[in-house]
Amino acid sequence: MTRPSSVLFDLDGTLIDTAPDFVRCLNVIRKRYGLRALPEHQIREVVSEGARAMILLGFDLSPDDEDYFDRHSEFLDLYEDEVAVDTRLFPGMDAVLDTLEDNGIPWGIVTNKPRRFSVPLLHALHLHDRCDALVCPDDVEHRKPHPESLQLACHLMGVSTEGGIYVGDHIRDIEAGRRAGMKTIAARYGYIQHPGVIAEWNADIIIDSARELEALLTAS
């Protein structure tokens, strides 16, 4: 892999392991309604699908159901209050960021996670002053897999999308990266229900850990 002009990361399931706080918050709400705790692995698998998927899993409610919006609001309000209790960078990811910074390669985050949660999360993990660009759905008209958010992030960093890399753990990340003209890396360690399907995403590279990404960067 040649030296990239920039590296962009998806947030949940790629740069940061946010699942533990989602697991805890969803089970806290379930307990309020007399429901048993769900196993961590079951919730982790749907984190990348967003709060709607977690409410469906946790309460068997969809937006058409009467109680959906009350549970949805209750869950997200609790998560906002406790957004970084157990959340951490994925193992080896801090070394990846150090490598990028040591080599003068700008890095940023493009996420479908609203700013309401993303900004306090980055502050809590002391990443806000390291990240060169943060693009959330609040900032664009079209969410991923549309390439608009990636194009905006590169614009904010003063680089072209060509020569850049986007790393993500969902097919929409890989599609967005391809449509933006960037190289794509699929993170198989992320929140993926069926890891075997990653080969069908047509990413340029598939990695199983952040340490593999660091090895790629140091070899470029």
- CA angle, 176 as apex, 69 and 196 as ends, to 5°? 85
d(CA 108, CA 94): 14
CA of 137: how far to CAs of 10, 52, 142, in Å? Answer: 12, 16, 7
CA–CA separation, 213 and 218 (whole Å)? 9
Biggest alpha carbon–alpha carbon distance for the chain: 54
> Which residue numbers are catalytic?
10, 12
